[in-house]
Amino acid sequence: MTNPGRPSAHLRLAAALDGLAAVFGGMTAHPDEHNCECHWGSADELAQLKVPDTDLDLDLLGRTWRAPDWSDHASVLRRILPQLATALVKGSVEPHEGFEEVGRSVARGHWQQWPTAQAEAVREFLHALWADTLTDPDPAVPAYEVLALITEASATLTPWLTTWETVTDRAADSHLAEAAAKWEYDLLGDQLPWDSWENEEEKRTELTAWLVRNAPARLRAHGVSEELLHRIRLLGLTGATAPCWASLL
């Protein structure tokens, strides 16, 4: 079955990548930026961050976005952002644990405070990446990982869940089934299914409520197991009606 939203989402993502390249082209790390040669990389590698518009090898790119101790993280992020975004789309980014790590690196740059054109380019990429992921039957990065990334990058869960409500084709429902199966154990244990540095409890509560409200009908129509549907129902039991999870897991 064809998905009429897929071509437009893919074109939007391509345009968002072009937008990042246009807005952040020519940018470099601060001239005085430094990092530890023992733990990050060599002086020659550091020098590459101070030259614009040249691709880093993937290992250096990874070490750069992971490093938490840049003096001016924002300028380093602007230097690598077009290449990092392209690598994400291609599935070439490999976090040590989860893709929320990438989102936290983006958040450390405080991109919402950047000049309007720069902030809008980042915002549009996050939205375009999400739209493309939901409509892609086989995305390079699973939807549940992309959700963690964009949530941590933007410090909000709400707009991404709202978008998922409106995209109800088979690909989006398949991603929902995969995500629900991935999340339910942590959520039943009152844990957010990814590591978050801020507002973890609020995000967990919002994700749980959204899943209980929106997932059952879509998952049932998608043909998931009754066991998964039952565990989603358990998420909706609170307070005095909530059973002991240990006896049900």
Give residue 215's pLDDT: 95
Cβ contact 21:54 at 8 Å: no
Per-residue pLDDT averaged across 216-245, rounded? 81
In this structure, of 3-7, 26-30, 202-206, the range with the lowest mean pLDDT score is 3-7
Give residue 169's pLDDT: 94
C-alpha 8: how far from chain center: 20
Give residue 29's pLDDT: 98
Cα torsion 56, 60, 61, 62 to 10°: value is: 160
DSSP alpha helices (H): ranges in 25-99? Answer: 43-48, 58-66, 73-90
Structure tokens at 111: 């991109």
Mean pLDDT of the chain: 93
pLDDT higher than threshold 80 for residue 248: no
Q: Treating both helix axes as pointing N-terminal to C-terminal, what angle do 116-135 and 170-188 enclose, rounded to 10 degrees?
A: 100
pLDDT in tens, 101-115: 999 999 999 999 999
Give residue 1's pLDDT: 40
pLDDT higher than threshold 50 for residue 2: no
Give residue 238's pLDDT: 61
Report the candidate in 191, 177, 187, 190 with the shortest Cα–Cα distance to residue 228: 177
Give residue 38's pLDDT: 86
Q: Tell which wins on pLDDT, 239 or 36.
A: 36
- Name the pTM for this structure: 0.93
pLDDT higher than threshold 80 for residue 34: yes
In this structure, of 68-77, 84-93, 136-145, 235-244, the range with the lowest mean pLDDT score is 235-244
Cβ-based neighbours of 206, under 8 Å, separated by 6 or more? 157, 158, 161
Give residue 4's pLDDT: 57
pLDDT higher than threshold 50 for residue 239: no
Q: Tell which wins on pLDDT, 6 or 93.
A: 93
Per-residue pLDDT averaged across 156-164, rounded? 98
Report the candidate in 130, 141, 187, 192 with the shortest Cα–Cα distance to residue 164: 130
